[in-house]
């Protein structure tokens, strides 16, 4: 479970400090999904970095699994916009990079993830030989190789074409249902938030404050985009964002 109380994040110190996140509360139960949506530059990424232990709150508290976040954790994985693949390493080596850095051998689980992501036949290729969509899938495989309890995504599908984006969203949903990690997504895409978020928090302009929380319990099927519940959620999000 993730729990934040009064989470405040400043960048810089003293008079030069810029407040990115201003006293927000939220929680994510184990195996549930939460999406943050808001204007570009509003502080969404700072929230993810605080959960990941890459930024320390200026005020408030944040806990993962009942423990205060004091630095990066092995059970928390973060997927960024750029897949961040090393060009001189193969798909297999990139996918298992986190395990290699920890001095561990690749697990059978990692090979299974590559297969599910449709990468089993290209495991010996290099990033330059892959499409952009495949590169993103390698980034997903690397995040899942450690079997994390929490998977966080910072606009991981930005710049992809619509069909590729939807296919990978379907993949995220399937993996989440199978592995039941807690999922935290940051996006500026209304439909992506509605498709992947059981609860969606709408943020204000910087500094990020909670503008509204939209419950979205009907999500969870690959056909959800065609459902009335999906249309209701996207309409509600547009309404809140335009206020």
Task: Check: pTM over 0.75? Answer yes or no.
Answer: yes
| Residues 16 and 123 reside in one and the same domain | no
Q: Which of 127, 147, 167 is the last residue of a domain?
A: 147
98 touches 142 (CB < 8 A): yes
**Do 142 and 162 belong to one domain?**
no
Q: What is the per-residue pLDDT across 21-69, written as a single tens digit (0 to 9) for each?
A: 999 999 999 999 999 998 887 888 999 999 999 999 999 999 998 899 9
Query: Which of 101, 130, 147 is the last residue in one of the domains?
Result: 147
Q: Same domain, yes or no, for 221 and 159?
A: yes
Last residue of a domain, one of 99, 129, 147: 147
Question: How many domains does the structure of the chain reveal?
Answer: 2
Domain co-membership, 58 together with 167: yes
> Residue 156's domain is classified under what CATH number?
3.40.50.300
Rounded to whole angstroms, the Cα distance separating 67 from 176 reads 23
pLDDT in tens, 78-116: 888 776 788 898 888 888 776 554 444 445 456 677 777
* Same domain? 193 vs 93: no
Give the Å distances, CA to CA, from 78 to 10, 72, 119, 229: 21, 10, 20, 29
17 lies in the same domain as 137: no
Please count the other Cβ atoms lying within 10 Å of the Cβ belonging to residue 28: 21
Which residues constitute the domain of residue 32? 2-75+152-242
């Amino acid at each position: 479970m993730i729990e934040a109380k009064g989470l405040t994040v400043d960048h810089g110190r003293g008079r030069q400090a810029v407040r990115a996140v201003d006293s927000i509360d939220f929680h994510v139960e184990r195996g549930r999904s939460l999406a943050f949506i808001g204007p570009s530059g509003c502080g969404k990424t700072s929230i993810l970095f605080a959960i990941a232990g890459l930024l320390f709150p200026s005020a408030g508290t944040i806990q993962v699994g009942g423990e205060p976040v004091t630095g990066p954790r092995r059970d928390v994985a973060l997927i960024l916009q750029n897949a961040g693949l090393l060009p001189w390493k193969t798909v297999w080596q990139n996918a298992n990079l986190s395990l290699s850095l920890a001095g561990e051998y690749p697990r059978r689980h990692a090979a299974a993830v590559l297969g599910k992501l449709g990468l089993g036949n290209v495991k010996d290729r290099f990033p330059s030989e892959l499409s952009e969509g495949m590169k993103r899938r390698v980034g997903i495989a690397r995040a899942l190789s450690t079997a994390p309890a929490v998977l966080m995504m910072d606009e991981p599908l930005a710049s992809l074409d619509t069909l590729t984006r939807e296919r990978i969203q379907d993949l995220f949903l399937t993996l989440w249902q199978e592995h039941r990690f807690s999922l935290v997504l940051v996006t500026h895409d209304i439909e992506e938030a509605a498709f992947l978020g059981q609860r969606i928090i709408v943020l204000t302009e910087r500094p990020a404050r909670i503008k509204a929380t939209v419950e979205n319990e009907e999500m969870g099927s690959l056909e959800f985009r065609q459902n009335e519940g999906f249309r209701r959620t996207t309409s509600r999000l547009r309404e809140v964002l335009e206020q």
